[in-house]
Structure 1
């Protein structure tokens, strides 16, 4: 297992056609790559207790929660996870929220979308390869 410092947490909520980002102020947190067969990660966010009702509502109403986190440094690119809340614990005046989920490989998604678009534009064979190389 590998453990990283959680620097930023956003809950991504789909409302009709829009995605609303809820930035959650952290007191502390960890991101743990379990390195198991299912590629699961555990994200622990240590927060002010005023967020308890918000997260309990998410836990009750949503099977899967998309979150975006920054790991180790604020300057790092965000990582996106599809998660479930596996625990909410009151710790004095604070809470910790435990998520378990899998990371979304955004690079693969971007490349897949780009290739799909090129194929739809009629590129194929050598011209597809050349145009793809040009774009990346």
Structure 2
């Protein structure tokens, strides 16, 4: 895997905060965006499930992947989307960001990267 992950890890977890984002009300087009985000990272989509909270109150959803998941929860009243990308294998979760940015068009973002499944040091 390219990027900042050089130590062997079972999975790579990206936590993304989008602020000043668009398209936070309607989950229907977001299903395709989650699929494209997964495919961009080299992941296999098993299923996408989204829930609309109604009255333009946002949505939540998850793309179940053979390599783990991409999830999203939106707060339209704050222009905010919380996105969680966790992948294992040869996938690069950072490559999921381009389709997500293109669709949600955040004014700013915060990204945290975590290595998951690192074996403890043997002493």
**Structure-1-length-normalised TM-score:** 0.31
More helix by share: 1
More strand by share: 1
**Structure-2-length-normalised TM-score:** 0.33
Higher-Rg structure is: 1
